[in-house]
Structure 1
Amino acid sequence: MDAMTTSFGEVLLWSFWFFIWIAALMVWFRCLFDMFSDSSLSGWGKAGWAILLIFVPWLGALIYLIARGKSMNERQMAELVRRRAAQDDYIKQVAAPSGPTEQIANAKSLLDSGTITQAEFDALKAKALA
């Protein structure tokens, strides 16, 4: 019966090692994904890093972070900027009416529904025609 019971300290220690293991896996996969997404790294360079990361995973990930950590951050930030610009372009393309005629028609429909006042309609019309 004693083999089945564990103390609170043992459960805490198991939890600690489990979270350390998950964190190490996340770092390892991040290094692996970064390596394959880096277009400046040659095929031989990727092969070398892959061999290191596969055969000595935790030491390889640590060496990768030391050697290429700064460029990892730069690549990630550049990708975020690129995605943000693409998202902004898409939103502008979809959300903005195509021309002044459509803008005035949208404003007129808002005026007819009572959502905006005549003064607001005139301001939107002037803005569309400007």
Structure 2
Amino acid sequence: MDYPLLNAFWTMCLIFLWVMWLVLLFTIISDIFRSRDINNWVKTGWLLVVLLLPFLGVFLYVIARGQGMSEREAERAERQQKQLQAYLRETVPTGDEASRHADSLAKLAELKNHGDITEEEFQKAKAKVLA
């Protein structure tokens, strides 16, 4: 094996830097597309600069619009959080509904355990309670 340990370390560092570069490049490209504060011609210009002169384009974009990137990302995360909360409010039962469902399921399980209803009847009633 004719590959010294220092060369292996240097190769790993270069691979790490290359992956970081790709992540940064794709982050900037996605930020260009997501920006609502610039028109399509400006987006096209930034995209051409970033794709044709990648290093210079990325550095210029970070200098010119870097502060806005974090603000836009924070707004996007906040919007997603609000959408998730709205979805959960619609789908997850509230405290009263949840306790009512739990009480109904407990009564059904008790009836099934005592033999008052069959397994099939229990499954049908459970489906009605959970619907």
After superposition, the C-alpha distances for 1:24-58 in whole angstroms (9 at most, x for unaligned) are 11101110110011121111111110111011102
Match of 2:22 in 1: 25
1:75 and 2:72 aligned = yes
Map 1:1-130 onto structure 2 (within 5 A).
5-96=2-93, 105-109=100-104, 112=107
Report the secondary structure of 1:63's partner residue: helix
TM superposition score normalised by structure 1: 0.74
After superposition, the C-alpha distances for 1:93-118 in whole angstroms (9 at most, x for unaligned) are 10125xx7x5674253255357xxxx
The number of residues matched between the two structures is 108
Looking at structure 2, the residues matched to 111 and 42 of structure 1 have their Cα atoms a distance apart, in angstroms, of 59
The percent identity for this pair of structures is 26
Contact 1:53/1:60 (8 A) holds in 2: yes
Contact 1:28/1:58 (8 A) holds in 2: no
Unaligned runs of 5+ in 1: 115-130
Report the secondary structure of 1:67's partner residue: helix
Contact 1:53/1:61 (8 A) holds in 2: yes
| Aligned-CA RMSD value | 2.1
Contact 1:24/1:58 (8 A) holds in 2: no
TM superposition score normalised by structure 2: 0.73
Looking at structure 1, the residues matched to 80 and 100 of structure 2 have their Cα atoms a distance apart, in angstroms, of 33
